[in-house]
């Protein structure tokens, strides 16, 4: 009887954990960062890119981005908030169109084989972004 109660409790606990962890999102603590300000300030943009590339110091926001960028690529950003998805689109669009060297450095580090570019190019195209081959 006691063993059955423990097993039932474990099953219930596992179900609760799956429900809670299945809806896990990245923190929205930095969702209100002004991306336009970053994009319009090359020095600031370079600081974020250098952080992610392990070439410079990281702000708290940069550190958060750096911690989750690989996971976001691998999962299609399934843990991203809507605001983070919008910000990702804005950032990629800007880098592809205006900062090709930074884009290349980032893709060389995070997508050296072109796996993620290939996986997400249709999604990007739907947003009006053409991901370069190089």
pLDDT, tens digit, 9 for 90 and up, residues 70-80 = 999 899 999 99
- Contact 90/33 with Cβ under 8 angstroms? no
Q: Mean pLDDT throughout 104-123?
A: 89
pTM, 2 dp:
0.76
pLDDT in tens, 9-66: 333 333 333 333 445 899 999 888 899 999 999 999 999 999 999 999 999 999 999 9
pLDDT at 10: 34
Q: Mean pLDDT throughout 95-100?
A: 94
DSSP code for 55: S
For residue 5, is pLDDT > 50? no
- Domain positions in the chain are 35-127
User: Quick one: pLDDT band at residue 1, thresholds 50, 70, 90?
Assistant: very low
Question: How would you label 65-91 residue by residue, b for 16+ Cβ within 10 Å and e otherwise?
Answer: beebbeebeeeebeebeeebeebbbbb
CA distance 16 to 92: 36
Among the CATH numbers 1.10.443.10, 3.40.50.2300, 1.10.2080.10, 2.60.40.2550, which is that of 35-127? 1.10.2080.10
User: Quick one: pLDDT band at residue 134, thresholds 50, 70, 90?
Assistant: low
- Contact 79/24 with Cβ under 8 angstroms? yes
Backbone angles phi, psi at 88, to 5 degrees: -65, -45
């Amino acid at each position: 009887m006691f063993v059955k109660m423990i097993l039932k409790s474990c099953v219930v606990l596992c179900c609760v954990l799956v429900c809670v962890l299945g809806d896990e999102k990245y923190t929205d603590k930095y969702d209100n960062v002004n991306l336009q300000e970053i994009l319009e300030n090359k020095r600031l943009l370079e600081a974020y890119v250098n952080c992610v590339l392990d070439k410079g110091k990281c702000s708290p926001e940069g550190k958060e981005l750096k911690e989750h960028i690989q996971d976001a690529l691998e999962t299609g950003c399934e843990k991203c908030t809507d605001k983070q998805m919008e910000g990702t689109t804005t950032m990629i669009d800007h880098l592809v169109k205006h900062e090709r060297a930074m884009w290349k450095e980032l893709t060389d580090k995070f997508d050296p084989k072109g796996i993620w570019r290939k996986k997400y190019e249709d999604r990007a195209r739907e947003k009006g972004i053409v991901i370069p081959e190089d």
